[in-house]
Amino acid sequence: MFSSVKPYENQRYASLKKECQRRKQLFEDPLFPANDDSLFYKSRIQGIQWKRPKEICNDPHLFVDGISSHDLHQGQVGNCWFVAACSSLASRESLWQKVIPDWKEQEWNAEKPENYVGIFHFQFWRFGQWLDVVIDDRLPTLHNQLIYCHSNSKNEFWCALVEKAYAKLSGCYEALDGGNTADALVDFTGGVSEPIDLTEGDYIADEAKRNLLFERVLKVHNRGGLISCSIKATSAADMEARLACGLVKGHAYAVTDVRKVRLGHGLLSFFKSEKLDMIRMRNPWGEREWNGPWSDTSEEWQKVSKSEREKMGMTVEDDGEFWMTFEDFCKYFTDIIKCRLINTSYLSIHKTWEEAVLHGAWTRSSDPLKNRCGGCINHKDTFLQNPQYVFDVKKAEDEVLISIQQKPKRTSRKEGKGENLAIGFDIHKVELNRNYRMHTLQQKVASSIYINSRSVFLRTDLKEGRYVIIPTTFDPGHVGEFLLRIFTDVPSDCRELTLDEPPHTCWSGMCGYPQVVSQIHVLAAAGLKNQDSQGGADPYVIIKCEGQKVRSPVKKNTVSPEFDVKGLFYRKKPGQPIIVQIWNHNLISDEFLGQVVLTGDPSDRQSVHTLHLQDKGNKRSNDLPGTIAVKLLSSNILTNV
């Protein structure tokens, strides 16, 4: 997760600081100057003055009494999403120490005033790379007050400086107005964000589904992930409207704790198994809390022992932080974002994921074979022109996590705010030996939502086999770069399919070049005669053609297996047969059950053909080892490009 760090815009903190100390000058960042260009791309606030922390207070510090989610308060820019993400970050020491590197060295030191030259640096994960962002400490103020993110303590500046570095990365401060919490959580961690629509999932009505969601949220929290939530605003008037229960619509909250709370007092609480699923949130405003059951002053807290309340960090203050039951949470909140830290370390005691990371792009070309921006599957004529990535699921079934992230666009005065494209992806099951791009649609097994978010995520369970991911923009013709990340239990060997057909080589004239491409789809078998001692068999399929072969996974203990196995063959000699064999898997020696020989294409290529298996050593028709259902599809190599 924490890979090497690249200096943003080639500004190197250590050398810049050393040069300022040598010249005895305070650092002024030429790439993010103290003027309106760094503040706005559209609006204006009159009377803003840029001041260094020592001009705002007498004794500035990066941290005052450590770092806490209670430190932050939202300023005049509408970036509750960013402040909520910072609140979550503050509760994770290992994470904030990555975002705020060398924090002890960056702290103001009264004993070594010569160390201070007004330069700071922070690190964010962007598009597959950790970036080190250098800033000076001139901050925008109005009437000597910070106008953006600020701390409870007037002399604490970590949150204001982190916000300035993030604004520099985004183009200006105004670019932080109306963003996405999921983006900030990913930028702070390098994790994968998973948004969940609580209303669409109907979690309030389905208790079993709600309990499963709580367990997943609890697991993300316990394993160091960051979580945010919000109540969807359905109109402009709804934005930041306060409900009777005290919650605010269109407003991002940080989730600061998730736990099962033990009810009861004294020894009784240990013998009773009753526990309550609870979640704690914080309003970035630092005020306006939930006033329903289990709010700070509610009588429900009498059901919990004093020691349990202390363990939970329960306080009765209007500090914006409050507890709710998870049931009430699902009743009032509409969205939750889980930012999972995907564990790829082999040294961990927890589940380790295998990660594949690939950079790609949607590009435009007048040549259909080179065009890579075909839009979503609604545009059937151009959909398969998009980039295609093949990967393998090597277990009988595997949980697969997939994320695509489009490259963020910086905001500028000339171009305005860089808007995200609506993006998503489809997953298709393909032949086990596919090595070239798809030219006809195949079975779609999963798809993400399409949304104009920087990241799109999907978690899905897939059977053993080979699959192709097709990342797309919603509409054709849009260009941009993207990052594809795939997490599986075992290595997926994910790679981009770049070739449309087998390449022509100097040997093609001598050895021949494929004339047709044939797809064999083995669907099922029935009536297999060979059985083991339990009365079943462990059959698998082998498809052979011109020296190539495809082998299916083994089906356990059945004489009527359903295979769903595909093979793709580029045939130089279409007259040569395609052979489909059935074998019984055995620990000592696999047993041949029978085969069918396909010597020509059936007249109706789209239909399923039931063919008799023929044992090589037995030609008597009344002793055939079973039947097999096969679909044969032949086409020209570049059909429907």
Active site residues: 80, 251, 283
Sign of the four-CA dihedral 558, 561, 565, 570: positive
Is residue 36 packed enough to be buried (19+ CB in 10 Å), middle (13-18) or exposed (0-12)?
middle
User: Which are the contacts of 329, defined by CB distance < 8 A and separation ≥ 6?
Assistant: 229, 279
Q: What is the Cβ-side half-sphere exposure of residue 144, based on CA atoms within 13 angstroms?
A: 7
Contact 226, 237 (CB under 8 A): no
Tell me how far apart the alpha carbons of residues 611 and 607 are, in angstroms, rounded to a whole number: 13
With CA atoms as reference, report the closest residue to 399 among 542, 137, 216, 598.
Answer: 216
Tell me how far apart the alpha carbons of residues 493 and 392 are, in angstroms, rounded to a whole number: 6
Residue at token pair 């260094």: 52
Q: Largest Cα–Cα distance in the chain? A: 101
> Both tokens of residue 315?
């306080």
Residue at token pair 């989730």: 255
Contacts 24+ apart (CB under 8 A), 209-213: 210/326, 210/327, 210/330, 211/277, 213/330
Beta bridge partners of 543: 550, 580
3-state SS, one letter per residue, for 114-133: HHCCCEEEEEEEECCEEEEE
| Number of residues written out for the chain | 641
Is residue 98 packed enough to be buried (19+ CB in 10 Å), middle (13-18) or exposed (0-12)?
buried
Tell me how far apart the alpha carbons of residues 591 and 180 are, in angstroms, rounded to a whole number: 58
Contact 245, 290 (CB under 8 A): yes
Tell me how far apart the alpha carbons of residues 617 and 614 are, in angstroms, rounded to a whole number: 9
In angstroms, how far is the first alpha carbon of the chain from the final one?
A: 38
Spatial strand order of the sheet with 139-142 comes to 49-51, 139-142, 145-146
Tell me how far apart the alpha carbons of residues 141 and 148 are, in angstroms, rounded to a whole number: 8
Tell me how far apart the alpha carbons of residues 176 and 274 are, in angstroms, rounded to a whole number: 44
**What is the 8-class DSSP label of residue 155?**
T
What amino acid is encoded at 214 in this protein?
A: F
Tell me how far apart the alpha carbons of residues 323 and 336 are, in angstroms, rounded to a whole number: 16
With CA atoms as reference, report the closest residue to 321 among 98, 90, 63.
Answer: 90
Tell me how far apart the alpha carbons of residues 404 and 385 are, in angstroms, rounded to a whole number: 18
With CA atoms as reference, report the closest residue to 125 among 2, 275, 227.
Answer: 2
Compute the chain's Rg from CA coordinates.
30
CB atoms within 10 A of CB 571: 19
Contact 198, 330 (CB under 8 A): yes
Sign of the four-CA dihedral 417, 455, 339, 137: negative
